[in-house]
């Protein structure tokens, strides 16, 4: 654990670099408000902090700047809440007041606003398939014993995928069956659908038809029709231009690498997947695990409907981002999304 003096110096180095994006020397620190130490004393303490890995000197003649370890210590032990401006608070409240009848669109607008007020890349996931409920189910026949299953959720999200039809069952019967199963399973959670199919079919066909062998074929067909991809989560990405607009930014090579990473959903979903254990996470540099973001920081906040986490909103930014401000924004935005989604959609979900 750092001494109180070392904590104050580390906090000052972080604050200076966040605001000016330049290393700071002992003489500059000695002139800052709250410091009564001489430049020599500060220099000695900064040498100790450097040796412990909390700050670094980019080159011999430069001052010090925080390391990833230093930012981590700052976030965990030194960071204080930052009051948002009245304009920022009004923007977030206005977004929530204008909530429409489609969850995914509200989340998309939240990501757009977050990018605008933080000047960082903003990402939003959700609502997850596991958190959505069935609104309607329809089978649209194609040629050669194939058809499209059209599934609409209570959030207005539309899924469609192609299935192979059984050879010995009339297409019109399958169309009717899918519609009736959809009616019975309406408002069921999407990830519960496959498990409920057999129960619905047994009630629909009774044991006689089931014993004739149709039941197993229909069960397999319907399970394929309502199957969910657990990784299929609506994703919104806003503000990618901020990657190239930051002072003291990434090298052209690393910026290109990061931009390529942002185009691939798999990595973003891994970084932003909703979490019950850590509803607000700050992940710094190498903690992210993925090489393209090992020189970036990721701050995420989970939002929910009732007790069910349904999505995440957050930012990807430089190591020197203003963590306190970003956290304050997310601490207002994410709970606001939760309350708004519960108000507009909680009754439909039975929460």
Is there a contact between 210 and 202 (Cβ–Cβ < 8 Å)?
yes
What is the pLDDT, as a whole number, of residue 155? Answer: 66
Confidence check: pLDDT of 201 > 50: yes
Is there a contact between 19 and 247 (Cβ–Cβ < 8 Å)?
no
- Whole-angstrom Cα distance, residue 53 to residue 49? 6
Q: Give the pLDDT band (50/70/90) at residue 206.
A: low
Percent of the chain topping pLDDT 90:
46
Is there a contact between 10 and 16 (Cβ–Cβ < 8 Å)?
no
Q: How far is CA 235 from the centre of its chain?
A: 8
User: When comparing pLDDT for 205 and 263, which is higher?
Assistant: 263
- Whole-angstrom Cα distance, residue 331 to residue 132? 24
CA 264-244-290 angle, 5° bins: 40
Query: Would you give the DSSP letter of residue 294?
Result: T
Helix (H) or strand (E) holding 197, with range, is helix 193-211
Domains 4-78 and 86-128+233-349 alike in fold:
no
Residues 103/108/109/113 CA torsion (nearest 10 deg): 140
Using one digit for the tens of pLDDT, what is the confidence trace for 251-262?
888 888 899 999
Topology, domain 4-78:
Arc Repressor Mutant, subunit A (1.10.10)
- 3-class SS at 107? helix
- Whole-angstrom Cα distance, residue 8 to residue 29? 11
What is the pLDDT, as a whole number, of residue 208? Answer: 44
Residue 168: partners with Cβ closer than 8 Å, 6 or more residues away: 217
Say how many C-beta atoms besides its own lie within 10 A of residue 235's C-beta.
18
Q: Which two tokens stand for residue 43?
A: 């220099």
Q: Give the pLDDT band (50/70/90) at residue 218.
A: low
What is the pLDDT, as a whole number, of residue 88? Answer: 96
Confidence check: pLDDT of 225 > 80: no
- 3-class SS at 229? coil
Q: Which two tokens stand for residue 114?
A: 């977050």
* Location of structure tokens 């190239």: 244
Domain ranges of the chain: 4-78, 86-128+233-349, 132-226
Highest mean pLDDT: which range of 41-45, 218-222, 231-235 = 41-45
Q: What is the mean pLDDT of the chain?
A: 85
State pTM to two decimals: 0.76
Confidence check: pLDDT of 230 > 60: no
- Whole-angstrom Cα distance, residue 228 to residue 173? 24
**What DSSP letter does each residue of 231-288 carry, written as one string?**
T---EEEE-GGGGGS-TT---HHHHHHHHHHHT-HHHHHHHH---SS-SEEEEEGGGG
Is there a contact between 322 and 78 (Cβ–Cβ < 8 Å)?
no
Chosen CATH of 86-128+233-349 out of 3.30.450.40, 3.40.50.2300, 3.40.50.970, 1.10.1670.40: 3.30.450.40
Task: Provide mean pLDDT across the span 66-95.
Answer: 96
Topology, domain 132-226:
Enolase-like; domain 1 (3.30.390)
Say how many C-beta atoms besides its own lie within 10 A of residue 309's C-beta.
21
Q: Give the pLDDT band (50/70/90) at residue 211.
A: very low
């Amino acid at each position: 654990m750092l001494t109180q003096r070392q904590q104050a110096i580390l906090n000052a180095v972080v604050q200076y670099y966040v605001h000016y994006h330049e290393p700071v020397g002992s003489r500059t620190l000695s002139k800052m408000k709250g410091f009564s130490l001489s430049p020599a004393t500060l220099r000695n303490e900064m040498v100790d902090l450097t040796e412990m890995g909390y700050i670094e000197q980019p080159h011999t003649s430069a001052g010090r700047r925080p390391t990833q370890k230093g930012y981590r210590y700052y976030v965990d032990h030194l960071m204080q809440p930052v009051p948002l401006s009245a304009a920022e608070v009004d923007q977030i409240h206005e977004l929530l007041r204008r909530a429409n009848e489609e969850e995914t669109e509200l989340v998309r607008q939240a990501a757009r606003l977050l990018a605008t007020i933080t000047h960082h890349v903003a990402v939003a996931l959700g609502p997850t398939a596991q958190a959505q409920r069935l609104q309607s189910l329809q089978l649209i026949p194609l040629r050669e014993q194939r058809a499209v299953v059209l599934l609409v959720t209570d959030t207005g999200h539309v899924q469609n995928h192609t299935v192979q039809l059984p050879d010995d069952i009339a297409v019109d019967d399958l169309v009717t069956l899918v519609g009736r199963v959809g009616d019975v399973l309406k408002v069921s959670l999407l990830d519960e659908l496959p498990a409920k199919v057999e129960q619905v079919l047994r009630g629909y066909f009774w044991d006689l038809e089931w014993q004739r062998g149709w039941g197993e074929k229909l069960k397999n067909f319907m399970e394929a029709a309502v199957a969910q991809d657990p990784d299929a989560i609506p994703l919104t990405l806003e503000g990618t231009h901020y990657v190239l607009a930051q002072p003291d930014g990434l090298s052209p090579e690393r910026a290109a690498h990061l931009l390529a990473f942002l185009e691939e959903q798999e990595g973003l979903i891994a970084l932003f997947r909703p979490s019950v254990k850590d509803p607000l996470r700050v992940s710094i540099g190498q903690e992210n695990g993925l090489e393209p973001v090992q020189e970036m920081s990721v701050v995420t906040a989970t939002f929910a409907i009732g007790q069910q986490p349904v999505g995440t909103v957050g930012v990807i930014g430089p190591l020197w981002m203003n963590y306190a401000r970003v956290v304050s924004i997310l601490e207002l935005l994410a709970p606001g999304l939760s309350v708004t989604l519960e108000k507009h959609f909680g009754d439909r979900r039975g929460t």
